[in-house]
Amino acid sequence: MRLDKYICDCTTLSRIQAKRAIGKGDVTVSGVVVKKVSTPVTPGAEVVFEGRLLALRGPRYIMLHKPLDTVCTSLDDDPRSVLALLDVDKPEQLHIAGRLDVDTTGLVLITDDGNWSHRITSPKKTCGKRYRVKLAEPVDEGVINVFAQGVMLKDETRVTLPAQLEILTPQEVLLTLREGKYHQVKRMFAAMGNRVVGLHREQIGEIALDPSLEEGEWRPLTSQEVASVV
Ligand code: URA
């Protein structure tokens, strides 16, 4: 990796700031001042900036409790982005593994590891996502079977994958989906003549929303949580 990119990845500096620091002679590589920004950083090289030995940070994995009225999009696209809730370096390098609607709350996973997020969002994987759903009308028991068989949603060519419905009270249910079509939960209940009035994601695969996180709070995933996505 080039020296300017290495500095940029290890610090809060932008690429331009990193180039400037290198040009000013603020960076040493294995004890020698290096001013050429494209110098390759070889394995084992000790890069020091402002007296600090730099190390590349590993990929980042975060769980966030999404509040209402925030959006799962990049910071550039909308200032209401959930990424604005993270007090981390370079949030623009992060992306969301499975979006929620503006009026949905709950578990959002955020990372800069594209392979990892692909294992959550890829239609070829069948990672379960559990939602707690509040409904405008009491749900009919027959809907359990209908969702288990699959529903043909408007403008789709194939029925939904089997989904598991657990009725908690007549107007509150848990629904586990193994895919993520646009507005899927709302459209599935609309197809049953009902309406979703509250939607909260509790779990993705083995990763459950940490009950100690208030809306808007986040924490890094544990190594077990990261490893559970296969
Ligand atoms: N299904 C929906 O309808 N909305 C969401 O935010 C997630 C799943």
DSSP 132-167: EEEESSPPPTHHHHHHHH----TT-SSPPPP-EEEE
Cβ 104 under 6 angstroms from ligand 1: yes
DSSP string, 100-133: --TTEEEEEEEES-HHHHHHHH-TTS---EEEEE
Residue 228 belongs to a domain: no
Cβ 101 under 6 angstroms from ligand 1: yes
Residue pointed to by tokens 């290198």: 22
45 plus 154 within the same structural domain: no
132-149: pLDDT as tens digits? 999 999 999 999 999 999
Domain count, the chain: 2
Cβ 109 under 6 angstroms from ligand 1: no
Active-site residue, selected from the candidate residues 101, 112, 113, 140: 101
Residue 230 belongs to a domain: no
200 plus 108 within the same structural domain: yes
In the chain, the percentage of residues whose pLDDT exceeds 70 is 100
151 plus 99 within the same structural domain: yes
Distance CA 201, CA 198 (A): 10
69 plus 124 within the same structural domain: yes
Its domain, for residue 125, covers 61-223
Cβ 153 under 6 angstroms from ligand 1: no
CA distances, 142 to each of 22, 138, 148, 182 (Å):
67, 12, 10, 24
47 plus 97 within the same structural domain: no
Query: Closest ligand 1 atom, CA of 188?
Result: 3
175 plus 207 within the same structural domain: yes
28 plus 76 within the same structural domain: no
46 plus 67 within the same structural domain: no
Average pLDDT taken over every residue of the chain: 95
CA of 133 to the centre of ligand 1 (A): 10
Q: How confident is the model at residue 57 (pLDDT cuts 50, 70, 90)?
A: confident
CATH of the domain at 91: 3.30.2350.10
N- to C-terminal Cα distance for the chain? Answer: 28
Residue 157 belongs to a domain: yes
Instruction: Reply yes or no on whether 9 is catalytic.
Output: no
CA of 206 to the centre of ligand 1 (A): 19
85 plus 154 within the same structural domain: yes
Contact 117, 128 (CB under 8 A): no
CATH of the domain at 34: 3.10.290.10
Cβ 184 under 6 angstroms from ligand 1: yes
Return all residues near 188 (Cβ < 8 A) that are at least 6 apart. 147, 151, 153, 160, 163, 175
